[in-house]
Homo-oligomer: A and B are copies of this chain.
Amino acid sequence: MLDLIHELWFLKRDILSDDFDRALFRLAQEVPMTIHEYPTGASCWTWRVPEKWTCHEAYLETLDGRRLLDYAHHPLHVVSYSLPFEGIVTRQELLAHLHVHPHLPEAIPYVFKYYDRDWGLCASQPLRDSLTDEVYRVVIRTTFEPGVLKVGEYVIQGESRQSFMLVAHLCHPGMVNDDLTGVVVGLDVARALLATEKPYYTYRVLILPETIGSVAYLSQHEDLIPEMVGGLFLEMLGNDSPHALQGSFQSDSQVDRCLVSALRGLDLYSYSAPYRSVINNDERQFNAPGVRVPMLSLSRVEPPGSPTRPYREYHSSLDTPDIVSQERLEASRQVVLSLLQTWERNQYVVNKFKGEVFCSGYGIWIDYRINPEGHRRLFEIMERCDGERTVADIATEIGISFQAVWEVVSLLQEKDLVWLSRVPSPTYPR
């Protein structure tokens, strides 16, 4: 995954841009993707697809021709979707258009003005501080022209048309953790899913430009929305922080219960938190009114209270391959695959038995004198196998991991004591 990151990260992946397309086509060589196209001006619910933006050249010079910053050196030197501008400006006017990072003096910040437009440059704090001339020459040669917004979709067809959505955004020029990491993890997950036997759910992996990409896709696939049973946004997965799982707007949904109880069993240092409390991204479009797909988000955002949240290098030129590691990307890929595995497994557990099970007779007895905790858990799980509770419901009720419940349910299934059902099958006698 890190190789692909090295190959793509420095591309100028603005939301509609030649480099975005280049990156997407490169990914399409990795897995077979459908590329959905939405032309500039296309109406997407309340939105419109913006123009393609290109920055041909941009720099800041002293009047005697000393070049102070150059877009050729770093794509963040120009505000994404900056208006074109050429001219001699006073120091004061320049400073009003020259952005710096709020707390990383050495970094070039990432600034974008997709809709509320202006011209603008970005620089480090020391460079800004060194500007003492009365006037400077600014050259920003950008063009806005009709283009095509592109969304890559990779589908792993399951037995059911019910779909689980995996989404990551490919935009953000010259940056890595946000969110090229989510993209490469998502692709690797897709590859792994393809290699296994046919899943029950259909999985749709979407690689898109942030926000407008999701809105465009959803508005042009309204027929699919009722089939979307849940989703997971993949976000910032390479930096050095524990996994954070952000719940969906419908915190009580089966997807929420399943993934939250499953993460507990996967990663001791991870944490879960409510909707909108970790990091906001395209899961918002899926959770929104008129869509209401319960989409969670997995990231490596620093825990609440950290002063550098979401992570220190966020939205800056310091978000480079140096801050991500192949090891962490692989760990995240494994967490995602395990979460999806539990989602596949999350069914209603229907008892074939009545009363308590004759544990000794089935060889599943746990002696309470030797292992009181295990004994207690075994019985707490068995007594909830009633066709009205899923594995995730049982885990949530008892407050243990999905995996711990699954272990017992598997054993019961093996002993032909329960069966699993995709729909509730109550066995209540009245």
Contacts and interface: CB of A to CB of B under 8 A. Distances in A.
A116 interface: yes
Contacts of A292: 386, 428-429
A289 to B, nearest CB: 4
Nearest to A290: B354
Chain A interface, >50% SS class: loop
A8 to B, nearest CB: 28
A360 B289 contact: no
A25 interface: no
Contacts of A287: 383
Given A46-B417, A360-B115, A361-B47, A288 B383 contact: yes
Among A284, A351, A362, A429, the one with the most B-chain Cβ atoms within 10 Å of its Cβ is: A429
A291 B225 contact: no
Interface stretch (A67-75, A181-189, A211-219, A237-245): A211-219
Among A46, A285, A287, A384, the one with the most B-chain Cβ atoms within 10 Å of its Cβ is: A46
Contacts of A354: 45, 218-219, 222, 288-291
Interface residues of A, number: 50
One complex includes copies of this chain to the number of 3
Contact of A276 (B226, B380, B385): B380
Nearest to A430: B226
B288 A356 contact: yes
Nearest to A218: B355
Contacts of A88: none
A48 B355 contact: no
B46 A361 contact: yes
A387 B292 CA distance: 13
A226 B429 contact: yes
A268 to B, nearest CB: 27
Given A45-B355, A289-B427, A355-B290, A249 B361 contact: no
A5 to B, nearest CB: 28
B361 A429 contact: no
12 contacts: A46-B355, A47-B361, A114-B360, A218-B354, A284-B379, A288-B355, A288-B356, A289-B353, A289-B386, A291-B354, A291-B429, A292-B429
Interface of A: 45-48, 114-116, 211, 214-215, 218-219, 222, 225-226, 249, 276, 284-285, 287-292, 351, 353-358, 360-362, 365, 376, 379-380, 382-387, 417, 427-430
> What are the nearest 5 A-B pairs in CB distance?
A290-B354, A115-B360, A47-B358, A289-B386, A289-B351
Given A219-B355, A288-B383, A289-B383, 8 more contacts: A46-B355, A46-B358, A214-B355, A222-B429, A284-B379, A285-B355, A289-B427, A290-B429
